[in-house]
């Protein structure tokens, strides 16, 4: 089954949030729609010990409407509101995250773990 043909009608029906993506440091921010799953905070030990947010997002596998599968995990920054309905503001450090892991990908969607 070609998921790329079915993702847009399905995507339109389900609740989504806007997130920001900056594909290179200092580059322009753009807004895309994503499914956002807020996980319980993860304990972080080390120099800056404490809890930090852990999110899973699912976006279109598309360089215009989402993010292309070949993106650079180390260079791409994501901006996700800490609460449902919150403001997506890249000037708020707590909203900024990087991709820790690619959880899944097909022709239509890509699922990422952000920390």
Identify the pLDDT of residue 19: 96
Residue 79 near residue 35 (C-beta atoms within 8 A)? no
- pLDDT averaged over every residue in the chain: 85
- Residue 32: both structure tokens together: 């895309």
pTM for this predicted structure: 0.82
Query: What's the CATH number where 38 sits?
Result: 2.30.110
Structure tokens, 98:
């990087």
Token digits of residue 11: 């995507």
With a cut of 70, say whether residue 45 has pLDDT above it: no
| Domain that includes residue 12, residue range | 3-114
pLDDT for residue 1: 44
Sorted by sequence, the CB contacts under 8 Å of residue 83 that are 6+ apart come out as none
C-alpha gyration radius of the chain:
14
Task: Encode pLDDT of 65-87 as tens digits.
Answer: 999 878 888 899 999 998 888 88
Split into its structural domains, the chain has a count of 1
From residue 56, alpha-carbon distances to 11, 47, 101 in Å are: 17, 25, 9
Which pLDDT value is given to residue 40? 86
pLDDT (0 to 100) of residue 8: 66
């Amino acid at each position: 089954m070609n998921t790329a043909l079915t993702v847009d009608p399905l995507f339109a029906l389900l609740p989504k949030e806007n997130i920001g993506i900056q594909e290179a440091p200092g580059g322009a921010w753009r807004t895309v729609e994503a499914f956002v799953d807020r996980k319980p905070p993860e304990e972080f030990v080390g120099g800056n010990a404490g809890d930090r947010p852990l999110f899973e997002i699912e976006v279109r596998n598309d360089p215009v409407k989402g993010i292309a599968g070949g993106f650079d995990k180390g260079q791409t920054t994501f901006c996700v509101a800490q609460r449902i309905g919150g403001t997506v503001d890249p000037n708020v450090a707590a909203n900024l995250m990087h991709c820790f892991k690619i959880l899944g990908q097909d022709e239509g969607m890509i699922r990422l773990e952000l920390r």
